[in-house]
């Protein structure tokens, strides 16, 4: 009830003031970077070896390439969001690379409404994973799918419906065995870190498409900046 009340209370706020997990009826793969859009876009272009960087593209049309991205930040918010416009969805490795390149924190986040999959991997300014949560009813309950180079020394435990590990705080993995508990943990973290997640609706389309870069229920006054990398 506490989280529901928080969401209802937030509905009365301007978008610039809203924080927390907004994952209802959503599917999104995102990388969030604790840095301005300019620096994030420059680092992304370098890491992905992209050739094109077009600035201030919100509500404009762009043509996707084999792999392209959108980089944007909402007004009143500190974290910049990276999503794939074409090609594969953003991966957790990209969050680690951006964190290391910019010497700041970054997070890979995924939510799938159809499968009730929720998860995030949080990296420190050296690109090291410091906390992760994956919550999904049919999860195999271990971290064997993640590269050891990413996990480092992070201890990961089964929650009964996923995995959790953190070097930042003590949370009993057993308490995260229900999806509502995982959602609350994420909502609390995002509010603590002044994040609003997720916002976008980009899901990685095909190359060569002409796409208008808009966001559901978000107007030009809500966007600080949006860039295209391709």
User: For position 7, what pLDDT does the model report?
Assistant: 43
CB 140 within 8 A of CB 160: no
User: For position 162, what pLDDT does the model report?
Assistant: 93
User: For position 4, what pLDDT does the model report?
Assistant: 43
User: For position 25, what pLDDT does the model report?
Assistant: 56
Q: Where are the domains of the chain?
A: 2-214+221-229
User: For position 3, what pLDDT does the model report?
Assistant: 46
- How far from chain centre, in Å, is Cα 120? 7
Token pair belonging to 169: 């705080």
CA distance 142 to 162: 7
Quick check: helix, strand or coil at residue 188?
Answer: helix
Residues of the chain with pLDDT under 70: 1-12, 23-25, 201, 203-204
Give ∠ CA 100-48-166 in degrees, rounded to 5: 35
Return phi, psi of residue 178, to 5°.
-110, 145
With DSSP H G I counted as helix, E B as strand and the rest as coil, what are the percentages for the chain, rounded to 5? 25, 30, 45
């Amino acid at each position: 009830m506490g989280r529901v009340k928080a969401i209802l209370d937030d509905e009365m706020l301007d978008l610039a003031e809203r924080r927390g997990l907004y994952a209802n009826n959503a599917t999104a793969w995102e990388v969030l970077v604790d840095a301005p859009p300019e620096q994030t876009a420059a680092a992304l272009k370098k890491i992905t070896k992209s050739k094109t960087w077009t600035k201030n593209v919100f509500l404009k049309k762009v043509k996707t390439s084999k792999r392209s991205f959108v980089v944007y930040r909402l007004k009143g918010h500190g974290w910049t969001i990276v999503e794939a416009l074409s090609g594969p969805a953003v991966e957790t490795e990209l969050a680690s690379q951006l964190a290391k390149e910019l010497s700041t924190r970054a997070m890979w986040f995924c939510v799938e409404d159809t499968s009730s999959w929720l998860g995030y991997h949080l990296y420190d300014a050296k690109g090291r994973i410091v906390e992760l949560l994956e919550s999904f009813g049919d999860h195999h309950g271990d971290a064997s799918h993640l590269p050891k180079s990413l996990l480092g020394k992070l201890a990961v435990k089964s929650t009964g419906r996923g995995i959790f590990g953190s070097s930042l705080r003590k949370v009993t993995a057993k308490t995260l065995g229900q999806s509502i508990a995982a959602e609350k943990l994420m909502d609390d973290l995002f509010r603590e870190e002044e994040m609003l997640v997720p916002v976008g609706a980009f899901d990685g389309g095909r190359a060569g498409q002409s796409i208008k870069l808009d966001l559901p229920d978000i107007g030009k006054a809500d966007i600080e900046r949006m860039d295209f990398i391709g």
